[in-house]
Every structure is written in structure tokens, then in C-alpha cells.
Amino acid sequence: MKKLATVLSAFALYVSLTPVSYAHDNHQHVPKDSRSAKQMSKAAVTLIKDLSPSQSKLMILPFDNDALRTKWSNAPVSSKDRNGLPIGRLSIKQRYMLHDLLIASTSSQGYQKIWAAIRGDDELKLEGENRELSSAKFFGKNQSLGAIDYWISFYGNPVTDKQWSYMITGHHLAANFSVIDDKATFVPMFYGSDPDRISHGAHAGHQFLPQERRRGVELLLSLDNKQKSIAIVSDQYPSNRFGPTDFAGPGMKDTKRVLRGLKASKMNAMQKKLLWVLIEEYVNNADFDVAELQLEKIRKDGEQQIYFMWMGLSDGSGKAFYRVQSPSILIDFVDQRTGFDWNTHPHVIVRDPSNDYGQDWLQRHVKESH
């Protein structure tokens, strides 16, 4: 009886924290000037108007060129070129404006995670310079690391267009934001850090992206042996010298994936709560109104269509890969380590298979316009 009461109490908490039907209505009552799409457009216009003609020519690219708009990589810039201009070629005033745009596009946690990926790259550059390897094998890589070599590009012009997007990308970041007819989306968003923590000096012990791994392990450890036998599909993830082969990274937008792992419907109330906390850890990187609508979409997918999959050791130790997947969300986390790296470090990506880069809204716009 006591056990039943505990489960019911946990279920009541889960339900109270995950309202099913109010996100859309609440969004309609958000003042237009407070919505992410409006604030993003305002900040983007301010930055665009401050660009020189030569900067504009390089930074503002055609919106209808899907190959350009979806081109990004998590490789160092030394080995994969990027669209647009690097932060190092923006003035200090324009860098302020870029941060205003990022803040308009994200929650406080999303803004901090994006910039943590960039700051982590500064740390990696410093670490590389302190190693003998940096003078030979890693010299070229190290020269292209750090904040000054993260690139910003626009697709469409926020000054004149109702459909536009922008991307900030470099070694450990590809953040894509799209505005389609006053609606905004934040996917796909890739971010990571190498190293995963600072090991020296006044900031020793500081961790980059600590919760992404922790939330997945918490959910895994809450499962019983039968549930684990379904959720854990392998004791290690398949990889090559560049990393995990199943990671939903660059160029993987339209890849068909088999749903694997444990359904949310097969979890108890407390486990569902942990699953939802895990999903929120990623979706709440977006500004509040965008996050609310995305979470509402995921809830509507239903428990039968939300899966949690793990590849790695059953106790959560060692290198691991996990995935949360439904028609409206794809979250991949991996403890990355490659044949040319000396650190284990996290890579994560958030996608919406139904609306990456705002593709669903674009298709609707075209149909309605014609």
C-alpha cells in the first residue's frame, strides 16, 4: 500500500509538471514583442544594418539554397570550411550585437551552453599549445580553434524577408535558428566540449555540459533489469576513427532510423518523470515560447512513440551513447573519443525530424501561398 502511494504521488507530480493542453493557448497570450521570433528579428536587423557591404555579401546567403542553409560540420575549421564570416572578422560593436541575437534566440541555459562550447574550444587550444603534439600533428587544428574562428551566416535577409535563418558554427557548435512567418525554431542544434572540464588554474574543476550525461545515466539507473535488457541495445557504440557512426550529426537530416530501446509507455511514473526531465534539459535551450510549443508536440506524440535507447555499460560508466526519439524529437548524446584525440568529451545534438530547419512550416507556407 505504501509503495502504491509513493507511485501515485510521483505520478501526480509528473502530471502537474507536464500540462498537456495549455502550451498552445499560453503562446497565443504571449505579447508579440516578447515572442522569440519577434525578438530574434529585431536583434538580427540591428546586426545586419551595421554590416559593411563586403561583410553583407559574405554573410547574407540565399534562403532557398538548402545545400548552403544546411551545411555545417563538427570538424575543426582547418579541415572543413564554413559559410559566412568568423567572429574574428566582426568589430567589437558587432560582437555585442551577435550576443544580443543569441540571447534573443535562447533561454539563459541555452545561451550559456552555446557559449560554453565556444569557450571550451579556447581551453582546448590552450591545452594543445601546451602539448608536444601541437607542434606537429595538431598544429593546423590548434590554429583554427577558439572563439575567433566560429562563423556566423544568414540565409535570407531579416530586414526584408519573413522567412530567414541564421547559423553560428565552428568546431564544437552548430546552432541553427529559423524564423518562418513569425514562428521560430532552434533545431538542429549541435554542441559539445573538449575537454569536458578545466584541469588547471583558478577555474580547475569547472565542467562543460555536465547535466546532459548525468540526466541520461539517472534514467538508465532507474530501470530494472528487464527494462535495461530492452533499453540497452549494445554494450558499446559502433564507431570509426571519426567517432560514433550512428550519431545524428552533419548531413544526417533525412536519415531513416529504426526506433530502438524502451518505450515511455513501458516506464513507471517516476521513470517517466526522469525521461521528461531529460527531454527538457535539451528543449529548454530554446526561448520559453519556442520550448513550450516543442514540448507540446512531443507530448502529442504519445508514450507509445517515445523511445529511450542506450549503448554502453549497464551501470552508466565508461563511454556511452544514448538516444531519445519520437516523431517530434531526436536527442543524441555521446562520450566522444577518436583516434586522433586525447580527451573524452561530450557531443550532443537536438533535432526535430518533422521540422528541422523549419522545413514543415516552409512546406505549409508554399502550399498556402499557391
- The confidence score (pLDDT) of residue 76 equals 82
Q: What is the mean pLDDT of residues 205-232?
A: 95
Q: What is the mean pLDDT of residues 318-342?
A: 87
- The confidence score (pLDDT) of residue 137 equals 54
E strand or H helix at 23, and its extent?
Answer: helix 23-28
Residue 369 or 182, more confident: 182
Residue 350 has pLDDT above 80, yes or no: yes
- The confidence score (pLDDT) of residue 3 equals 53
DSSP annotation of 200: S
Q: Which amino acid is at 65?
A: N
- 150 Ramachandran zone, left/alpha/beta (phi>0; psi -120 to 50): beta
Q: Give the CA distances from residue 172 to residues 17, 113, 209, 249, in Å, rounded to whole numbers and listed in that order.
A: 32, 11, 12, 12
Q: What is the mean pLDDT of residues 313-337?
A: 94
Distance CA 118, CA 303 (A): 36
Long-range pairs for 16-23 at CB < 8 Å and ≥24 separation? 17/273, 17/276, 18/276, 18/295, 18/299, 20/296, 20/299, 20/300, 23/292, 23/293, 23/295, 23/296
Radius of gyration from C-alpha coordinates of the chain: 21
Q: In a 3-state reduction of DSSP, which class is residue 7?
A: helix
Residue 3 or 158, more confident: 158
Q: What is the dihedral of CA 70, 76, 78, 81, to 10 degrees?
A: 0
Q: What is the mean pLDDT of residues 2-27?
A: 49
Distance CA 12, CA 10 (A): 5
Instruction: Identify whether the C-beta of residue 74 lies closer than 8 Å to the C-beta of residue 193.
Output: no
Q: Over the chain, what is the mean pLDDT?
A: 88
Instruction: Identify whether the C-beta of residue 291 lies closer than 8 Å to the C-beta of residue 222.
Output: no
Indicate the range of 2-16, 119-133, 178-192, 323-337 predicted with least confidence.
Answer: 2-16
- The confidence score (pLDDT) of residue 216 equals 98
Residue 79 or 369, more confident: 79
Q: Which amino acid is at 318?
A: G
Confidence of residue 203 (pLDDT cuts 50, 70, 90): confident
Confidence of residue 4 (pLDDT cuts 50, 70, 90): low
pLDDT per residue as tens digits for the range 24-33? 555 567 899 9
C-alpha cell at 177: 535558428
Q: Which amino acid is at 86?
A: P
